[in-house]
Structure 1
Amino acid sequence: MGHLVLLGDSVFDNAAYVGGGPDVAAQVRDRLPSGWRATLRAVDGSLIGGVERQLDRLPADATHLVVSTGGNDALGYASVLEAGARSVAEAVERLATIRERFGRDYETMLDRVLERGLPTAVCTIYDTRIPEPRRRLVVAALCLLNDRITRAAFARGLPLVDLRLVCDRDEDYANPIEPSVRGGEKIAAAIAGLAVGPMSGEPGGGGERSVVAAR
């Protein structure tokens, strides 16, 4: 039987935002195969660097890991979108510097996770529901960070849950940056699909370079 552990931030630790409804962890438990367990180690507000501390509290019998982190780091970089620039090249250079820093932090974190030797999947950062016109800027900038997440996952042969495809409707969000009960249901479905597919060792599994979405 499996024991899946959720690592990262409020994409998984979203109980405070669902008005007493089921959080992502509860919905994952409901969708896992009989006999499986799911443990929440993700912490609302956590940065990429916080995942390593979450690993220190990993259950001894953990069998599978899923990581969703990076959104709070992206929020910390958001002020660059308001900064002036003398040219497009100067603005792109600033974004490129952030992309490189984010990528180094993410890859360091992911390698620490993989040191545990457990089947692991990762998630992209979803597009959020920040009001327009700022949303267009945020979504465009997030592409640069998600590029580093997808490259890190695929370079290591890890399954990927693309949350941009999973949480694609307004009702999937409890607020501009947190998943609702409906969004959590879709996230849980994608994760449970990984547990019995690409992470399971069954046919069609084994860590292919998989992109998962569930509706």
Structure 2
Amino acid sequence: MAHIVLAGDSVFDNGVYVPGQPDVVRQLRAALPTGAGASLVAVDGAVVRGVQRQIAVLPAGTTHLVVSVGGNDALGQEWMLGRPSRLVAESLDLFADLRGAFRQDYGAMLDAALAHGVPVAACTIYDPRFLDADRQRRAVTALAFFNDIILRECFLRGVALLDLRLICNEAGDYANPIEPSARGGEKIAAAIAAMALGDATRGARVVTGRR
């Protein structure tokens, strides 16, 4: 039977943000058939480089590994959005350097995940829900730089992809601007369960969670 391991950041390790309600791993266990299981190694606040430590040793019987990470890497660079520049080209050069570093880290993380010899799936970074309209618009635009790397690196390696931008697409899916609510977690868990049970883990298929 399937045993799914969730690695990455607070998209999966969201228990503290949904007090009194089930977190993602509990919702995933509920969505799986009897005999299947799920384990959580994700850590709130983790960045891409931290995932390799999380997955250094996987739980016995692991059949699928799902990773959601990158949002904290992006959040740590939000200062760039307020940096003065004289030309658009200067801003693009900054993002080009950032993309290069993120691509190197993300690719190394995927390679470490694939080295375990089990099917791997990754997640895009979902759109935040900032109340300030200007901050929201800029954040969504900037996240496209990160998500482009995630898509490219996954497709290059044949890694399945869960597009959280399409899965968590309503305000109620968020407990705060950057963390999933119980409702959002339920949608994420359902998409992961559908992927694992259907073994949609080859050919870098994009799973949207739509029914």
Pairwise TM-score range, normalised by the shorter structure: over 0.9
Q: Which runs of 5+ in 1 are unaligned?
A: none
Code of the residue aligned with 1:143 in structure 2: it is: A
| Structure 1 residue 29 displacement after superposition | 0.5
| Other-structure match for 1:118 | 118
- Amino acid corresponding to residue 168 of structure 1 in structure 2: N
1:209 corresponds in structure 2 to 204
Tell me the distance in 1 between the aligned counterparts of 2:56 and 2:203: 27
Tell me the residue number matched to 1:8: 8
Indicate conservation of the 8 Å contact 1:5/1:41, yes or no.
yes
The CA distance in 1 between the partners of 2:20 and 2:52, in whole Å, is 29
Percent same amino acid at aligned positions?
A: 55
Distance 2:117 2:110 in 1: 12
3-state SS in 1 of match to 2:48: coil
Instruction: Give the TM-score, by structure 2 length.
Output: 0.96
How many angstroms does 1:105 deviate by? 0.7
**CA distances 1:131-177 after superposition (whole Å, capped 9, x unpaired):** 21111000000001000001111111111000000011111000000
SS of equivalent residue, structure 2 residue 96: helix
Which secondary structure does the structure 2 equivalent of 1:49 belong to? helix
Query: Does residue 1:171 correspond to 2:172, yes or no?
Result: yes
Aligned partners of 2:72, 2:83: CA distance in 1, in Å? 19
Change (3 A) 1:25 1:117: same
The CA distance in 1 between the partners of 2:193 and 2:101, in whole Å, is 32
With normalisation by structure 1, the TM-score equals: 0.94
**What is the number of equivalent residue pairs in this alignment?**
209
* Deviant stretches of 4+, over 3 Å: none
Q: Secondary structure at the match of 2:130?
A: coil
- The amino acid that maps onto 1:15 is G
State how far apart, in whole Å, the 2-side matches of 1:139 and 1:165 are: 13
Q: SS in structure 2 opposite 1:66?
A: strand
Which residue of structure 2 lines up, in the alignment, with residue 73 of structure 1? 73
- Equivalent residues of 1:122, 1:160 under 8 A apart: yes
**Structure 1 93/155 Cα, relative in aligned 2: closer, same or farther at 3 Å?**
same
Q: Deviations over 1:86-138 (max 9, x none)?
A: 10110111111111111111001110111111101000000110121111000
Instruction: For 1:171, give the aligned amino acid.
Output: G
Question: RMSD over aligned Cα, in angstroms?
Answer: 1.0
CA contact (8 A) 1:41 1:57 kept: no
- Secondary structure of the 1:174 match is strand
Given that residues 32 and 195 in structure 1 are in contact (C-alpha distance below 8 angstroms), is that contact kept between their aligned partners in structure 2? no
